């Protein structure tokens, strides 16, 4: 049984052999956070408390299992919102203790990457492009269970930038999926900046792009000019996708790997999926299934399967670690 509660989804899953989903219950809190334009940590914690036992029951019912069928309990213990993480960690500890099962602590980012295991077995060395609302990272995995961040965003995460520009377009949180759809009907006419694209590193920056977008919209408002929203979305998306693809190609030159994995909430983006499909020729591209790109407990179960083989267990002293690194 695996738990995920690092942000605004309460999720419990039952998986078998690390790659077969028996159930994956995801209770989303999006409607409660919409009116605030983003996730309110205290509201998130309260929802997790209300939902977690319901999710446990639903996951077991859907998978048709009893506690006797379980072999281990896994949980995201960081990074994320501390109050939110604590609910999953406490629930997982309780189930593990009550049923005498090993407790497996999982890093949320390792979880996102492990969503690829539901497509096919991960082969090493592998490189992962993890793009979400909280993270934008290139993670090198020389071997199973080894993670090295070779590049990351210096300011906003890509998903955060999507949500902020979406707000300026009048969209509600999370705006990423809608901006993605609008982009499909627009053209890249604004030529927004591609920050750090030519720099000699694997880092990203999206705050300058976000500001350029907001300034363009505000300036148009001031002079009563109407801009094509689909073109704005397409121009923003092209700028994001261009730098993500460019830096990934650059990393693949230095680190020849067997697979490139695309994961995280923004990995659901059609523009990004298509651009990588068209440009990655030197290695196998494994895209996390669209349904498993956002936060969910099945991906945490897949990551835990690897840790279980290595007996990487924790005791009841396990605590949430909001700024957990690999
Ligand atoms: O991984 P995730 O569910 O939560 C975090 O760990 O952050 O990612 C959520 C983020 C949000 O910012 C959302 O707007 C973005 O992923 N997102 C997308 C798309 N679907 C979700 N961004 C761009 N295009 C999409 N299709
Ligand atoms: Zn996430």
The response to whether 188 counts as a known ligand-binding position is no
Nearest ligand to residue 166 Cα: 1
Ligand 1 binding pocket includes 163 (Cβ within 6 Å): yes
Q: What is the mean pLDDT of residues 14-35?
A: 94
56, 73, 76, 295 from 97: Cα distances, Å: 15, 10, 17, 25
pLDDT at 321 over 90: yes
pLDDT in the model for residue 151: 98
CATH of 121-287, one of 3.30.420.40, 1.10.10.10, 3.30.70.100, 3.90.700.10: 3.30.420.40
CA dihedral sign of residues 107, 109, 112, 118: negative
Position 37 scores a pLDDT of 83
Q: From the CA of 224, how far away is ligand 2's center (Å)?
A: 39
Instruction: From 28, 76, 132, give the residue whose CB has the most ligand 1 atoms within 8 Å, as the site to mutate.
Output: 132
Q: Residue 131: phi, psi to the nearest 5?
A: -125, 115
Q: Is the pLDDT of residue 240 over 90?
A: yes
Closest CA to 129 of 9, 238, 266: 266
Residue nearest to atom 10 of ligand 1 (CA): 133
| Predicted local confidence at residue 31, as pLDDT | 87
Mean pLDDT value of segment 84-107: 98
User: Is the distance from the beta carbon of residue 105 to the nearest atom of ligand 1 less than 6 Å?
Assistant: no
Please write down the long-range contacts of 249-255, taking CB distance under 8 Å and 24 or more positions apart: 249/279, 249/280, 250/202, 251/127, 251/138, 251/140, 251/150, 251/151, 251/202, 252/127, 252/280, 252/282, 252/283, 255/125, 255/127, 255/140, 255/150
CB-CB contact of 112 with 264 (8 Å): yes
Of the CA atoms within 13 Å of residue 57, those in its CB half-sphere come to 5
- Determine the Cα–Cα distance for residues 118 and 260; give it in Å rounded to an integer: 15
Residue 130: strand, helix, or coil: strand
Judge whether 48 is annotated as a binding position.
no
Instruction: Write down the pLDDT at residue 162.
Output: 97
Segment 135-162 shows an average pLDDT of 97
Q: Which residue has the least CA distance to atom 14 on ligand 1?
A: 176
| 264 annotated ligand-binding residue | no
- Provide the ipTM: 0.98
The tens digit of pLDDT for each residue in 155-176 reads 999 999 999 999 999 999 999 9
pLDDT at 38: 85
pLDDT tens-digit map of 248-300: 999 999 999 999 999 999 999 999 999 999 999 999 999 999 999 999 999 99
DSSP per-residue codes, 279-310: H--SSEEEEPPGGGTSS-HHHHHHHHHHHHHT
pLDDT at 30 over 90: no
Domain boundaries defined on the chain: 2-113+294-309, 121-287
Q: Does domain 2-113+294-309 have CATH number 3.40.50.11540?
A: no
Beta bridge mates, 151:
138
pLDDT of residue 78: 98
Cα-to-centroid distance, 103 and ligand 2 (Å): 21
Residue from 294, 299, 300, 322 whose mutation best tests the ligand 1 pocket (most atoms within 8 A of CB): 294
């Amino acid at each position: 049984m695996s738990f995920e509660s690092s942000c605004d989804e309460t999720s419990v899953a039952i998986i078998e052999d690390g790659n077969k989903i028996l159930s994956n219950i995801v209770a989303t809190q999006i409607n409660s956070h919409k009116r605030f334009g983003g996730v309110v940590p205290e509201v998130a914690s309260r929802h997790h408390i209300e939902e977690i036992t319901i999710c446990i029951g639903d996951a077991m019912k859907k998978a048709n299992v009893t506690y006797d069928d379980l072999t281990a309990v896994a949980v995201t213990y960081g990074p994320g919102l501390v109050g939110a993480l604590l609910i999953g960690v406490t629930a997982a500890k309780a189930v593990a203790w009550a049923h005498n099962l090993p407790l497996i602590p999982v890093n949320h980012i390792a979880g996102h990457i492990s969503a690829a295991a539901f497509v096919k077995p991960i082969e090493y060395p592998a490189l992962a492009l993890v793009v979400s609302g909280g993270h934008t990272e290139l993670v090198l995995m020389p071997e199973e269970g080894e993670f090295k961040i070779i590049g990351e965003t210096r300011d906003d995460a890509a998903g955060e930038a999507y949500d902020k520009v979406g707000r300026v377009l009048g969209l509600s949180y999370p705006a990423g999926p809608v901006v993605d759809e609008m982009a499909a009907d627009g053209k890249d006419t604004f030529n927004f900046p591609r920050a750090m694209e030519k720099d000699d590193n694997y880092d990203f920056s999206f705050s300058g792009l976000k500001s350029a977008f907001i300034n363009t919209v505000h300036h148009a408002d001031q002079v009563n000019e109407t801009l094509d929203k689909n073109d704005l979305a397409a121009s923003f998306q092209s700028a994001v996708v261009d730098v993500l693809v460019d830096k990934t190609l650059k990393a693949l030159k230095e680190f020849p790997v067997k697979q490139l994995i695309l994961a995280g909430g923004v990995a659901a983006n059609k523009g990004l999926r298509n651009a990588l499909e068209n440009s990655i020729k030197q290695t196998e591209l494994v895209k996390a299934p669209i349904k498993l790109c956002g936060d969910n407990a099945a991906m945490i179960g897949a990551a835990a399967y690897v840790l279980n083989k290595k007996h990487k267990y924790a005791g009841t002293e396990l605590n949430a670690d909001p700024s957990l690194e690999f």
